Amino acid sequence: MLSPGPNSACSADSFPDESTVRKALGKVEMRAFHSQLYDWLSGSSGSKSLAVDGKTLKASRDGNGRQIHVLSAITHGDAQPMGDTPVDHKGSEIDEIRPLLDSIDIRGKIVTVDALHSTKDFAAWLKGKEADYVFPMKGNRKKLIDRLDMLNIKENSYSKASTQDRGHGREDKRTLYLMKELPFWLNFPTAEQAFIIERESIIKKSGKVRREQVYGLTSLKDADAALLLQLNRGHWTVENKMFYVRDVTFNEDRSSIRSGSFPHLMITLRNVIMGLFKKKGRLQIAKTIRSCLYGKDTDLGYHFSKI
């Protein structure tokens, strides 16, 4: 797809002009393109946990003038992109998350999602795929939260774990309490354990304290509180190591590309570029892009030629 120049695979003077790139990409069959790129990346991550979340592109529009929304999957920890799919809007993620995960081998993996997807049906679907889950429960599951509240998880917990972090002008403490042997009346058949996370944030400048708690369920039978707290925090890999990089380094939210499949295609390319860099141990994305542009990283050019 991309061929290296004679001197440097990443040399800027070897790139075709914009109109040529647009014409070539406009002829791409998106399904095959998407499948080949992510299949190529999929074997490079050893992570057993996978985060799925959606993002709206602020500047892009589809043919009906609606903002483009894309659902993406990324591994925890090493932040390797595993797949993405366009959706109509945030609410329609529910219809598209299963086809997205069907395109990925999730057997033996732990899937984390936001509260929108924390349903019995989706939990049963994941278990049918031989995958596990960690689900947060928020206001959209009020009846279930009421039943979880009746469990008195904190008082009946058998495992507890805490973390403390400082940064961005605040100090955060998170504590997770874990309970097993759930009663039948909870009415969530695949759940093996229930948990509650208490978070306390102190704003250093003002001294203001903010407290919140989140309930959750997991199909992991033998996980302790420390692992579940790690998985809960690991879910934000998709925000911190994918969406943030696409916004800041690739200036994604300012992209006005809007015709046909181009917005989705460009998201896939950004994800795959990040995945390629990480696959080769280049964790500083912006620095690696500069090295590539100035012809200082010929090794990456070789791998681009193999995509």
d(CA 14, CA 86): 32
Instruction: Note down the domain range covering 272.
Output: 1-114+235-307
Please indicate, yes or no, if residue 123 is contained in any of the structural domains.
no
Q: What is the CATH number of the domain that holds 216?
A: 2.20.130.10
pLDDT at 6: 44
User: Both tokens of residue 219?
Assistant: 């199909």
Q: Is the domain of 214 the same as that of 242?
A: no
Q: Is the domain of 93 the same as that of 242?
A: yes
- Give the contacts of 298 (CB within 8 A, at least 6 positions apart): 4, 8, 9, 10
Q: Is the domain of 214 the same as that of 256?
A: no
pLDDT at 155: 96
Q: Is the domain of 96 the same as that of 241?
A: yes
Please indicate, yes or no, if residue 217 is contained in any of the structural domains.
yes
Choosing from 190, 221, 252, the residue where a domain stops is: 221
pLDDT at 139: 79
Choosing from 158, 193, 221, the residue where a domain stops is: 221
Q: Is the domain of 109 the same as that of 239?
A: yes
* CA of residue 75 relative to chain centroid, distance: 7
Which pTM was predicted?
Answer: 0.77
d(CA 242, CA 133): 21
Q: Is the domain of 240 the same as that of 306?
A: yes
pLDDT at 257: 62
Q: pLDDT tens digits, residue range 178-237?
A: 999 999 999 999 999 999 999 999 988 888 999 999 999 999 999 999 999 999 988 877
Give the count of domains, the chain: 2
Please indicate, yes or no, if residue 3 is contained in any of the structural domains.
yes
Please indicate, yes or no, if residue 145 is contained in any of the structural domains.
yes
Q: Is the domain of 9 the same as that of 99?
A: yes
Q: Is the domain of 91 the same as that of 188?
A: no
Choosing from 189, 221, 253, the residue where a domain stops is: 221
pLDDT at 293: 67
pLDDT at 225: 97
Tell me which H or E stretch contains 85. Answer: strand 81-87
Please indicate, yes or no, if residue 250 is contained in any of the structural domains.
yes
Please indicate, yes or no, if residue 10 is contained in any of the structural domains.
yes
Q: Is the domain of 99 the same as that of 140?
A: no
d(CA 81, CA 278): 10
Q: Is the domain of 76 the same as that of 182?
A: no
Q: Are 91 and 69 in contact (CB under 8 A)?
A: no
Please indicate, yes or no, if residue 12 is contained in any of the structural domains.
yes
Please indicate, yes or no, if residue 104 is contained in any of the structural domains.
yes
Q: Is the domain of 27 the same as that of 97?
A: yes
pLDDT at 267: 75
Q: Is the domain of 146 the same as that of 292?
A: no
The ranges of the chain with pLDDT < 70 are 1-15, 34, 40-45, 58-66, 240-241, 248, 250-261, 283-284, 293-307
